[in-house]
């Protein structure tokens, strides 16, 4: 048996154990990166709803935005996580923020990301369609650092605004967001015509039980 | 959005405001919708009142 003097043993323990520990941590980290690559962004089930005033009050971000250019693909096709395994693709819409009705959106322009399956694209008006010039109320949540519609890829995540732009619209913090939205949708803004206001009136009618 | 997403009362109240503030063509349509939902067009007189009560 090799006899090592006690002071040499102490020296080795003091010097080498921390180095070995650091080495082990690095090896573990590298192994983890190799076996667990960061997941590809994909669509997710709805966590928020906008079917009632209470549900609307829980949506993280609600903003009025003007789509700056036609929404365009922002990724490659990959299998859907929740809608069978059909091919799905990420889309991006550049939106100018006109009013923030709920939540905190400091930017004046934002990108909104969402997923639409190839089978669904353009097949029905229930899927999100954001052409240039469209003014919409967006019901949004954050996914990582990105803004996404609450119903990924579905038109129910947005509400068309027929009443024009409202640059001086005042938000009453005492009111529920649903009331603020109704106010905005039925307040004549810049660029609104009688025809567009009548469209607004008929659109909001869906909020009345008959 | 789904039916009643904004709430009946909120929409009725706001439509009644539209009836008071908007131009005649818009008021007429708002009044028609209020009448359809069996709500009065308060503050409306003349043509719109008749239209709303049909």
* Nearest to A120, CA basis, from A152, A95, A88, A144: A88
Q: Give A11-54 pLDDT, tens digit per residue.
A: 777 777 777 777 777 666 555 444 433 344 556 777 898 888 89
Give how far B8 is from chain A: nearest CA, Å: 5
- Name the pLDDT band for B4 (thresholds 50, 70, 90): low
Number of alpha carbons in the 13 Å side-chain half-sphere of residue A42: 15
Cβ of A182 under 8 Å from any chain B Cβ? yes
| Torsion region of A95: left, alpha or beta (phi above 0 gives left; psi -120 to 50 gives alpha) | beta
Query: How far is Cα A201 from Cα B27, in angstroms, rounded to an integer?
Result: 9
Closest C-alpha to B39, from B12, B21, B20: B12
User: pTM (2 decimals)?
Assistant: 0.77
Cβ contact B7–A179 (<8 Å): yes
Band of the pLDDT at A180, cuts 50, 70, 90?
Answer: very high
What ipTM describes this predicted complex?
Answer: 0.79
Does A60 contact chain B (CB < 8 Å)?
no
* A202 contact residues in B (CB cutoff 8 A): 29, 33
Per-residue pLDDT tens for A104-155?
A: 999 999 999 998 876 655 556 778 889 999 999 999 999 888 999 998 888 8
């Amino acid at each position: 048996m090799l006899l090592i003097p006690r002071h040499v043993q102490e020296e080795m323990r003091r010097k080498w154990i921390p180095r070995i520990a650091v080495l082990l941590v690095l090896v573990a980290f590298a192994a983890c990166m190799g076996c667990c690559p960061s997941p590809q962004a994909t669509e997710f089930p709805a966590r928020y709803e906008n079917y009632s005033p209470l549900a609307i009050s829980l949506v993280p971000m609600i903003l009025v935005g003007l789509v700056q250019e036609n929404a365009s693909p922002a990724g490659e096709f990959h299998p859907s996580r929740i809608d069978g395994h059909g091919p799905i693709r990420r889309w991006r819409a550049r939106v100018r923020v006109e009013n923030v009705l709920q939540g905190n959106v400091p930017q004046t322009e934002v990108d909104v990301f969402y997923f639409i399956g190839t089978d669904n694209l353009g097949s029905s008006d229930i899927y999100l369609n954001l052409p240039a010039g469209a003014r919409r109320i967006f019901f949004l949540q954050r996914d990582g650092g990105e803004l996404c519609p609450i119903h990924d890829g579905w038109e129910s995540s947005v509400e068309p605004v027929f009443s024009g732009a409202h640059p001086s619209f005042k938000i009453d913090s005492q009111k529920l967001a649903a009331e603020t939205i109704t106010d905005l949708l039925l307040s004549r803004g810049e660029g609104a015509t009688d025809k567009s206001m009548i469209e607004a009136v008929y659109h909001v009618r869906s909020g009345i039980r008959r | 959005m789904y039916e009643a997403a904004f709430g009946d009362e909120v929409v009725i109240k706001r439509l009644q405001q539209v009836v008071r503030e908007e131009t005649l063509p818009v008021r007429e349509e708002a009044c028609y919708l209020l009448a359809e939902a069996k709500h009065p067009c308060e503050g409306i007189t003349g043509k719109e009142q008749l239209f709303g009560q049909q």
